[in-house]
Amino acid sequence: MKHIKNGLKVLFDYGISLLVFGIFIFVFLSLAKDNMNKLLPFYSLLFFLMAFSIIYTDMKKLAETEKKPQYNLNPYPVKGLIYGLIGFSPIVILEIVSVFIVFSDQLAERFKHLTINTLMGPLYFIIRGAGEQPIGYILASLTVPFIALLGYLAGYYGFNITKYFKKEEQSKTTQKAFKKSPWNPTNKATSTPVKKKKKSNAAKKADGS
């Protein structure tokens, strides 16, 4: 039951991005107009990033929780993949069923095609990249379980991708530290050695005596 519950969490997370995708699709269509066909993959990619962030974060937190010994949940590295496969299976089942349902009416067949593509909305850019061929739908369907796997692995091994990027940014900023101009007068003040004054002949004679 735990596997099913956590798998449904993946489906719920994907559903959030899909819902927002559907809410704003009409705004996108009204703005894109004639360029809708060209811009649709980029619109899809935007909500893919949203789905990636939600699923990755939740699976990471779940792995961190399951690793705690008091829960005794026996976590293992690829558990996130199992959750992802269980969670996305309802949509995969609908995809498979749609293949075997063929309507004689072209309008109904077109509606079926649009329904599947809408369900795959945040992943549509993958499908479109593969020319809407079966391989595109297969790759898109495996993407969500793969995201769940990455998130769970991050929590299981304690890897924080955001900290990694922060370190990269900090190292770049330190490398680009401000360098003083060679014409800066403060450089001369610090670098020019102080010259000792030579004693006069009268002073030398006075020292000798």
- The rounded distance, in Å, linking the Cα atoms of 53 and 7 is 17
Where in the chain are the domains? 2-160
Tokens 């050695």 -> residue: 193
Tokens 């991050």 -> residue: 154
pLDDT at 191 over 80: no
At residue 122 the predicted structure's pLDDT band, cuts being 50, 70 and 90, is very high
pTM: 0.76
At residue 193 the predicted structure's pLDDT band, cuts being 50, 70 and 90, is low
- The rounded distance, in Å, linking the Cα atoms of 142 and 128 is 15
Mean pLDDT of 125-144: 95
Mean pLDDT over each residue of the chain, to the nearest integer: 84
- The rounded distance, in Å, linking the Cα atoms of 145 and 202 is 94
